[in-house]
Amino acid sequence: MERFDVLIIGGGPGGYSLGIAAAKQGMKAALFEKEHLGGTCLNVGCIPTKYLVDKALAIEKVRALVKKDIFRDAGTFSFKKIQAGKSEVTSKLVDGVRFLLQKHGVEIVTGEAVLKKDRVVACGGKEYQGKYVVIATGSQSMMIPIPGHELCIDSTGALNLQTLPQSMVVMGGGVIGLELACAFAAYGTEVTVVELMPELMPREQREAVRIVRKDLERQGIRLLTDAKMLRVERTASSLKAVYVQNGKESSVDAEQVLMAAGRKPNLSGIDAGALGLAMNGKFIAVDNHQRTNLEGVYAIGDVVGGYQLAHAAYAEGEAALSDMQGKDEPYGTVPVPVCTYTIPCFASVGLTTEAAKEAGFEPCLGSFDYSANGMALAEGASGSVYVVMDKASKTTLGVTIVGENASEMIAFAADAVRDKLTLEQWQRMIVAHPSLCEMVREAALDAFGISVHKG
């Protein structure tokens, strides 16, 4: 039985990054992956979705310029070429991950791994012994067992469509559903979103969510909130999605029905009962160092719940590796930014005004609109920035940005929330002009009524 310092089950963002980091620090590491290096994120999640959204955003910007008579027409596009470009980018990134793992000496074992007791992993007829084991098996699309669910496609199916559907019903108004709804709507698909909750993004800043909803509807996306999907039926020419809203049963005909109702942890090869592995509902239970209740066994990423985001998995992997080396660097002490790549993009970090009140703060909300920013006007971008400050201590509690480049600006904002930036520090900050980032500072100052550029 070959022995390693660390055995990592799962080659997604959390798993592969931990493997590379461990190897760079002199640890002998092996990584087990049954499908594709890069996991859901690189292959059928973050990257391919963002590729589709990016091209859709370009189409939307051209259309806006046509309306202003700057461009004469919106032109044509090839959906097949877009899909081919998406596959090319994905392949390049996956090859890059493989190169890095091999460069740093991480042994890649292809096949489904099975975790046994005493940190033994079986795969391909061989057994491997680890001083430490990291479970990073990720998650998979969740299909709700309504009648006709077998007629639906999941996000992977939607990303791999080779012909553009004329119409699509999206079941679920969460991150995955809204991102794909925006992309397909921009390409010309008639999109209807059926969401069970009364509102979209219920945990986010309400003012910002209203902007998103208005923009989605402007793009022609039909939003049916507080609506429950009952069944999917096949008709002579298409599919029929039957739902109930306000006690009334209705239906929508569509060429495709996308089920984007969330994800569930992938526990293939992990028999929690036989191992005595403690669970937190359907997720693996961990502490803030990512330790499970089994000696020397850690879990990171989607399989532990929480923020099911690639960058959260990176951070969780770093916390686990630090713990193996005897360092006290727990996960969860730094705020995690959350991005939804809709059109426009939505990004947030820290507390909303409602969450701040629940936490015992007296929040004051500052805002700044893209329409008052020089760079936004030059780029034809719209949106708004919101900063939540604590009235008593005058420190930064949260930031929400809805608009172009929100996912880039949120990194700057995340530092402000992490460091509890004070009003005085915002005042002393110099931000490059012209830039969209100026709006974050202006919104923070506006929380106390001292923004210079807000009317």
Catalytic residues: 433
Q: Which residues pair with 33 in a beta bridge?
A: 110
- Rounded CA-CA distance 78/164 in Å is 10
For residue 23, the one-letter residue type is A
- Rounded CA-CA distance 60/165 in Å is 18
Q: What is the number of other CB atoms lying within 10 angstroms of the CB of residue 223?
A: 18
Render 67-93 in DSSP notation, one character per residue.
Answer: HTTSSS------HHHHHHHHHHHHHHH
Residue 273, H or E segment: helix 272-275
Q: Which residues pair with 9 in a beta bridge?
A: 32, 135
Task: Provide the residue count of the chain.
Answer: 455
Extract the tokens encoding 337.
Answer: 């930014």
From 266, 243, 240, select the one nearest 254 (Cα to Cα). 240
Burial class (CB in 10 A: 0-12, 13-18, 19+), 251: middle
Q: What Cα–Cα distance (Å) separates residue 446 from each residue in 71, 347, 443?
A: 37, 19, 5
Instruction: Give the side-chain half-sphere CA count within 13 A for 238.
Output: 15
Cα pseudo-dihedral 179, 185, 187, 190, rounded to 10: 140
* Alpha helices by DSSP H, 325-455: 353-358, 374-379, 406-418, 423-428, 438-446
Cβ atoms of 263 and 234 closer than 8 Å: no
Burial class (CB in 10 A: 0-12, 13-18, 19+), 388: buried
